[in-house]
Structure 1
Amino acid sequence: MSSVRASVVVPVGAEAAFRMFTAEIDAWYVRGPHSWVDPERAVGIRFVDGYLRELWSDGGHVDTGRVLTWEPPRRLVWADLLNDGSMEIEVAFTPVAEGTEVTLEHRGLDTLPPAVERRIRKGYSWNIALGWFASACRTSCAPPAC
């Protein structure tokens, strides 16, 4: 299965990193026309009821991912529902001296049209998203709480 990886080290423990990535995703996920399924209605994003869900202003939503593995504070895997569940995204949280290394692997790129695969393979979007996450970790979480 074709994949791409991106990683970042955040200055918080694995438990805090996992919590911030999942329970607080709506606080760090940047809103914009390219980061939503329906930018006109999107107002938030959450992991809820076993899904990664984009919430809409009219009370509706779209499930963009289905959680396959939930192992706090070590690992999270979800199926990408926007592409018929043929891709998976795994996020691993590994303690390191500086805090936690967060590694994201997007698998199943070979199921996409070639132009889309090439764009994702560059890692551009995942590096941006992990940058948003790292910035939130640096600014909103200070020891000893983290």
Structure 2
Amino acid sequence: MARPGAGVLGRAARLLQGPRGARPVSTVRAGVTVPVDPATAFRVFTDEIDAWYVRGRHSWVDPERAVGIRFQHGYLRELWSDGGHVDTGRILTWDPPHRLVWADLINPTGRMEIEVAFTEVDGGTEVTLEHRGLDTLPPDVAGRIRRGYSWNIVLGWFARRWA
């Protein structure tokens, strides 16, 4: 005899839970191709991030004070109107024009890394971003990242630099 309520949710529950025994997805990837060489793509991504990164409440730690974003002194920093800043990432690898890796400092419960690779392809550079360690986050936060809430959008902002 089936236990009471067994199968009530059926397929919907399986979609939410994933396959039995499956581990949560720990990595998401996004990519874009830009019509410049890897050195230029790396320089624009890093040195000119404040020019292409779209400002807004969606992307700042402190939207009331935020005035810019910059890779500076080994960190990715949100710059504030009062001259202060918050470090949102710590640079782990700085290898121009090939790759950049930083540790996320925003989600203290998670141990995450973001890697951006710049690979020469016909007609330009493929820029690939990999966000690792999502399985260390609370499920709701990890879910938003897994659904691509930001990285495809962010790389789209970057690519618009050449539109």
Name the CA distance, whole Å, in 1 between partners of 2:149 and 2:103: 20
- The one of 128, 136, 142 equivalent to 1:117 is 142
Q: How does 1:68-83 map to 2 (within 5 A)?
A: 68-83=92-107
- Secondary structure of the 2:42 match is helix
What is residue 89 of structure 1 aligned with on the other side? 114
Q: TM-score, normalised by structure 1?
A: 0.92
Aligned residue pair count: 138
In structure 2, runs of 5+ residues without a counterpart are 1-24
Equivalent residue for 1:101? Answer: 126
Match of 1:29 in 2: 53
Higher strand share: 1
* Larger displacement relative to structure 2 (44-53 or 110-119): 110-119
- Partner deviation per Cα, 1:29-48 (whole Å, 9 max, x = no partner): 00001110000000000000
Higher relative contact order (CA 8 A, sep 6+): 1
- Report matched runs for 1:118-133 at 5 Å: 118-133=143-158
Question: Higher Cα Rg: structure 1 or 2?
Answer: 2
> Which consecutive segments of 4 or more residues in structure 1 shift more than 6 A?
none
* Shift, 1:115, TM fit: 1.1
What's the C-alpha RMSD, in Å, of the aligned pairs? 1.1
Separation in 2, partners of 1:6, 1:79: 17
Gap runs ≥5 in structure 1: 140-146
Query: Residues 2-21 of structure 1: matches in 2 within 5 Å?
Result: 2-21=26-45
Identity %: 78
TM-score normalised by length of structure 2: 0.82
CA distance in 2: counterparts of 1:77 and 1:51, whole angstroms: 11
Cα separation, 2, equivalents of 1:83 and 1:35: 14
